[in-house]
Structure 1
């Protein structure tokens, strides 16, 4: 009879625990993180439809810079690096220190720095947002490294303070395969 009572009490405790309301997530400053992926996807769609003329410059290693005017770009490919810089996902927040500063114009500057020994691709992210929370400036450093490949990129995006629409971007980087030479490159585009 004693074993039956223990099983009954244990079952009741499990039933009560299963019916318990989950504890709400604590609110922190990180809940105000900017959703960079949503912004970049919105800009990709806008630019894919508008297809604005773009002055694009590319340089690799010690080669001279090549500059051309392009009337049509694949914006999915062009802006992917900025989506990769998004660290607003809850699973990534623990890997970064976050510092927020109010700007004289009423905007906000947010700086994220990867914690030592954290396994995350974004090392540094700086966002400058207008008072209306529109992107004005973004700077990110991304690192991708494994046994065969090393890549480090610095990406900068500038947007109109009024509309938040992309005006220019720049990506500088280096990549190296373990058995090859490193390749330094720079891409800059002005709309």
Structure 2
């Protein structure tokens, strides 16, 4: 009987320990989740595909004059894909970054994510400026991909309409290099 009593007490102790509340994050900052860029871009894509606004777009590659086009025919999924790569809203990604917040003079909040020393994520740096209402005002990021055959570095910027939070313009500047190929520098600017 004593043997069963010990097993019962051991089981009860395990049940109590397993019901313990998880410990909160070490700091308030560690528990905060980044703005979900992917969700924002999906919503913007749907709106842009419906409205089909006129877009003034400039594309330039090194040594070439920019090609400027004004058109409503834009593949928004392809066009905004590079900005999705800057999404750090998944908690597993945030362990590679330090996060700093600053309230700006106009009441907006600037949130900066800087990669930790020794970490090698694609997003090297991300800065978001959010309105007091929680709408995205600006996005600035540096992305880098590299492996044994390919290297790519891009600086991306996106600004929104202050009243609506909808995309107003964006800018992508980058460089690509294949191991056995030439280096290609390019720049894309668009105004909606």
Q: TM-score, normalised by structure 2?
A: 0.89
Unmatched segments (≥5 aa) in structure 2: none
Partner of 1:23: 22
Displacement of 1:159: 0.5
Gap regions ≥5 residues in structure 1? none
The 5 Å alignment of 1:17-166 reads 17-18=17-18, 20-23=19-22, 25-26=24-25, 28-30=28-30, 31=32, 33-166=34-167
Deviations along 1:84-106, whole A, 9 cap, x unmatched? 10112211112111111111111
**1-structure distance, mates of 2:161, 2:38:** 18
Q: Which runs of 4+ in 1 moved over 6 A?
A: 1-9
- Give the TM-score normalised by structure 1: 0.89
CA–CA separation in structure 1 for the residues paired with 2:190 and 2:67:
12
Provide closer, same or farther for how the CA distance between residues 8 and 173 of structure 1 changes in structure 2, counting only shifts above 3 A.
Answer: same
Q: d(CA) in 2 for partners of 1:182 and 1:58?
A: 17
Aligned-partner SS, 1:174: strand
Root-mean-square deviation (CA), in Å?
2.2
CA distance in structure 1 between the aligned counterparts of 2:24 and 2:73, rounded to whole angstroms: 45
In structure 1, distance between residues paired with 2:24 and 2:75: 39
Deviation at 1:65, TM superposition (A): 0.5
